[in-house]
Amino acid sequence: MSQNSIPEEILTQFESIDAIAKAESGILTCLSNLLYKPTSSENPTPSSPSLLYNIYKLLTNGSNVLPLTPEIASLIKKLLLAYACKEFAIAEIINAIACKLGLIKGLVPEGKDECCC
């Protein structure tokens, strides 16, 4: 089964959980690369100008790239808040997956309201 194809068979619970986790991992990687992509784990210098790097350059004192207007500042704020909200949503999904696995494997007692949260 390719990454973007629809499976012909019905997935088991574990396969579904694994597929969700892989999809969320791909989303996080994409968002991370959008904002910041280091050259390597040893070299934090961006391999190419990223959005976060360009925002940094925009906000550096003496920058003549663009004047920092209220509109640009608002756009930067909205972008970073949207990124943070998506990261929080992914964390909630990962927590739900962990909770489900804990219940399936008997690690969390069945009547417990809060599960792993």
Averages of pLDDT over each 10 residues, the chain, 117 residues: 62 80 83 69 67 73 72 83 86 84 76 56
Q: Tokens 């969390």 label which residue?
A: 108
What is the rounded (10 degree) CA torsion for 50, 47, 86, 68? -20
CA distances from 14 to 38, 68, 76, 104, 107 (A): 33, 49, 39, 9, 16
Given a contact cutoff of 8 angstroms between Cβ atoms, the answer to whether 14 and 62 are in contact is no
Instruction: Tell me what percent of the chain is helix, strand and coil, each rounded to the nearest 5.
Output: 55, 0, 40
**pLDDT at position 1:** 47
Q: Count CB atoms within 10 A of the CB of residue 21.
A: 15
Q: What is the value of pTM for the model shown?
A: 0.58
Q: Tokens 């500042």 label which residue?
A: 73
